[in-house]
Amino acid sequence: MGQEVHFEIYRRQGSKGGWLLHDVSANREGAIRTAEELMADKRATGVKVVKETYNADTGDYLSLKIFEDGHTKLKTDAAAEDVPHALPCFKPDDLYSYHARATMARLLCEFLARQKLTVTELIHRSDSLERLEATGTLFQHCVQKIAVAQASTTTTSVQQIIKNLNDLTAKAIARVYRDTRRKYFPVAQAGQFGALAEKLATESDGLYLLNGALAHYLGETGNWNEKLLSLLALMDELPSEGPGRTLLMGAINTLVAEVLNGAAALHELIGETENLGAALLVLVDLFLGQSPEDPSKHEGLTLLARHFAIDDLPDARSAVARRITAELRSVRRLSPASLVSELKILRRIANKLVLGEGRYLSHDDIIASFTLRSRRLVANESIADHLAETAGPDDKLERLLLIEENIIGVENKRQLACFAMPILTSAAFETFFIAGKTPPLARLKRLAELQTRVRRSGFQDKERHDISELLDKVAFEVEARSKILTSIEKIANPVERTVAALRLCVEGMVTEGRLSTKARAIVVSSLGQPGFLTGYVDHVSRGAQKTTAEAAMGELLQTLEKAGITAETGLRSIAA
């Protein structure tokens, strides 16, 4: 695209005078200097410089105001004349601080992604700044957003803050243009940065110059992977020790962190994945210093993982940690196709992240992220869709228990319990188990399995007790209608009666509560029958080698423990 650029200087006379074209210049600094001289000589009450970019392909001009000053442009109360302006930055150097660069990355994220630029490259390369100015209103919109945010915490007007910000950024941009034109930034290629860092380490603006050299060095890269590989290759050039090593290491660390802070860059580095969950697993492995499964497709990430494994590049690793927690807190589903798949991925991520808890990722951050993600999983719409896929009411409860096992947060579990209670008290649930077509023992076993999961769940005590009691109530009704325990009670032989009742308890066919109490009562009463121990020894020895009374007693006590009957109770009940 062919472009021509010139700068128009306008002046204004009087408080109501219109703008008059004073001069046109091809030089940015010269145009701004002319405007400042007009104000200094009091030949104008207001001045502005407008950058005009002509697109030869379309025949259109794109106008962008790059400088403005004037005595009558703003009306300021006398009481507010001495109030300091509410700027996050006060001089051009402040725009290179960590917080300023973070703000730029947030406001210019789309522009940076399109241009495949980091913030450090943008603020050290004149060609990148030219492209930013050529976007027209984007730059001014960013200034306005910052001004509005700052004005909310001060008495200074938005217009005054915009003016001050424009002045500040104009000086910073002019500085980069001037330094580029006079070739102030060093030119270095791979293999030369170690020596350059040692040379610049003693200079007051050494970091500024080194970043400028790095920005121009990275200008030759074509994509994010090449950019990352180019930066990591410089790690081999680090001086063994001293300020030069600190300077170069810090610059590389910052640039890699800026690459990893960008969603577009990460998407390109990771490549196409099945869903967000799969992409997050790649990021988690990277954070832990583990190479991707296919290193040939992730050269940059593979090399970066090696550095993370030896705890290099702390800022870059922190950037990955922030991205992981940000995605966990986001509204995007890890696996849109299936909630079950999402839960499995979430558990895998949690199990891995626990290993990385510490300096870069605190326990509180992990808990907060997973709690928020859990809150979205127990939303009405998510649960309704998840339960709609099931056939039987027992499956609905099982699906809720699967969710419970994979989420955290007291409130989230309480919300989930609210979905369980209507299922348990529904006519469909009682009909399914009490009048079901499957054998009674199978239905009792299913109820006992569900209750066991509830009893070891993370529900609150009251909710866990209420759900368990409802399951036991249904199981008791199933047994009452099928008369399974009644038929066992009618067995004449106390040993056979005990073995039959114990089998129900040990094999998980009775729920805790009224039903288990009834089954254990049969066992305890049978133990007290005369001659039980002798009969039990004969029963154990039947079809096998002879056993002693002591061995049979030991085996029986173990079985009783499994059935929930203490050894003390068993010994007290057994009659020789």
**pLDDT above 60 (res 443):** yes
Average pLDDT over residues 138-148: 83
- The chain-wide mean pLDDT, for the chain, equals 86
**pLDDT given for residue 278 in this prediction:** 92
**pLDDT above 90 (res 212):** yes
**pLDDT above 70 (res 23):** yes
Q: What is the DSSP track for 338-357?
A: -HHHHHHHHHHHHHHHGGG-
**pLDDT given for residue 226 in this prediction:** 93
Average pLDDT over residues 414-438: 91
**pLDDT given for residue 16 in this prediction:** 63
Intra-chain end-to-end CA distance of the chain, in Å? 104
**pLDDT given for residue 195 in this prediction:** 94
Confidence of residue 537 (pLDDT cuts 50, 70, 90): confident
**pLDDT given for residue 74 in this prediction:** 45
**pLDDT above 90 (res 198):** yes
Q: What is the pLDDT of residues 4-16, one digit of tens each?
A: 778 888 888 876 6
Average pLDDT over residues 255-267: 91
Separation CA 560–CA 542 (nearest Å): 20
**pLDDT given for residue 545 in this prediction:** 63
**pLDDT given for residue 57 in this prediction:** 61
Separation CA 200–CA 189 (nearest Å): 16
328 versus 23: which is more confidently predicted?
328
Q: Give 3-state DSSP helix, strand, coil % of the chain, rounded to 5.
A: 65, 5, 30
Average pLDDT over residues 404-417: 92
- Cβ neighbours for 7, distance < 8 A, ≥ 6 positions apart: 24, 25, 26, 27, 28, 30, 31, 49, 50, 51, 52, 66
Separation CA 248–CA 188 (nearest Å): 13
Average pLDDT over residues 504-514: 92
Helix (H) or strand (E) holding 179: helix 158-181
Confidence of residue 149 (pLDDT cuts 50, 70, 90): confident
**pLDDT given for residue 85 in this prediction:** 43
**pLDDT above 50 (res 84):** no
Average pLDDT over residues 479-498: 91
Lowest mean pLDDT among 151-155, 213-217, 291-295: 151-155
**Percentage with pLDDT > 90 across the chain:** 46
**pLDDT given for residue 71 in this prediction:** 65
Backbone φ and ψ for 454, nearest 5 degrees, come out as: -65, -45
**pLDDT above 80 (res 94):** no
Q: What is the pLDDT of residues 447-485, one digit of tens each?
A: 999 999 999 999 999 999 999 999 999 999 999 999 999
Number of neighbouring beta carbons within 10 Å of residue 239: 18
Average pLDDT over residues 411-431: 92
**pLDDT given for residue 348 in this prediction:** 93
**pLDDT given for residue 307 in this prediction:** 93
The owner of tokens 């550095």 is: 307
Average pLDDT over residues 183-202: 92
Residues in the chain, total: 576
Average pLDDT over residues 189-210: 92
**pLDDT above 60 (res 1):** no
**pLDDT given for residue 41 in this prediction:** 86
* Beta carbons of 121 and 218 less than 8 angstroms apart: yes
**pLDDT given for residue 376 in this prediction:** 87
514 versus 73: which is more confidently predicted?
514
**pLDDT given for residue 77 in this prediction:** 46
**pLDDT above 90 (res 544):** no
Helix (H) or strand (E) holding 20: strand 20-25
